[in-house]
A = this chain, B = another copy of it.
């Protein structure tokens, strides 16, 4: 059965109306609301075809039709128009970002919140682990005798702070020396690439401060080994799910939101093969039973052309794909531009 233009229009009508009303769409509604110039009976025939093709389905015999996962897929791939709110949205977002000077992480957090508010979806930002980014700066600061703060900046302006216990005899100058030495040897290297001989080199040149270096390195390796910690994840708008009629059952919401709090679930959900551009996963396409009623839209988040993380939008399969994709596009672009400017 081929997909002629009228079938496309009817499918689109079903998708759009269902997105809007969350109610199964009947043939009468379509013939009246979307004037295709044919009667409800004709639409009924076409709808029977669409159902046979697996693009729409009936919750029960005497109900209208709702799009299937495949139906949404067809809509997203062939029918969906990119909405043009992008430009205004970008300006809005850009303004909000530049308005206040903030701690780095907060900008991202706030952006995600905004995105969640606008789309009424749940948003996820996932920054890749440290292993993939290079050390920009490492500095030890003497806070008080016996106590130092280690500041680590990695590519992409990610900052880690960690307190360090040190011998009370250590002076500010000692720490400065250690910092310099470690910077010289490790700067620009991907954290996973540190060679043993480089570390040996550091040790040999800093026998006096060996204890501190030892401690600092141990701490670094502990940071690296904490697999669970190495991805920064910001989740926002989880409550938005509660507004969706498909989640009027508390248990459903609970299961869903609890799933979303698990890192493995999020990680799989946010997997995106598509290096540039946007990935849309609809319902069962996510491969996760817990979120089979949800769709996920994922975009890569880049700084200076290199992917440093992912931004995702999670909503019910009955979500407004056109707006969601546009907004996500606008958001990532704006963020990337903002960080470029800063350089």
Contact = CB atoms under 8 A, between A and B. Distances in A.
Contact of A151 (B141, B243, B254): B141
A147 B163 CA distance: 24
A153 B163 CA distance: 11
Contacts of A163: 104, 157, 342
A161 B137 CA distance: 14
Contacts of A139: 139, 141
Contacts of A250: 242, 247-250, 253
State how many copies of this chain the complex holds: 2
Contacts of A258: 239
B257 A239 contact: yes
A154 to B, nearest CB: 11
A36 to B, nearest CB: 36
Interface string A31-49: 0000000000000000000
Contact of A149 (B159, B247, B253): B159
A162 interface: yes
Instruction: Output the residue of A103, A239, A250 with the most chain B CB within 10 A.
Output: A250
A139 B242 CA distance: 45
A219 interface: yes
Contacts of A161: 103-104, 151, 159, 161
A158 to B, nearest CB: 10
Contacts of A238: 238
B261 A162 contact: no
A217 interface: no
Interface centre among A163, A165, A243 (most CB of B within 10 A): A163
A230 B222 CA distance: 31
A100 interface: yes
Given A137-B143, A149-B151, A253-B250, A100 B226 contact: yes
A94 interface: no
Contacts of A104: 161, 163
Contacts of A153: 143, 149
Contacts of A239: 254, 257-258, 261
Interface string A236-268: 001100110001111001100110010000000
Nearest to A105: B161
A87 interface: no
Contacts of A136: 143-144
Contacts of A149: 137, 151, 153, 159
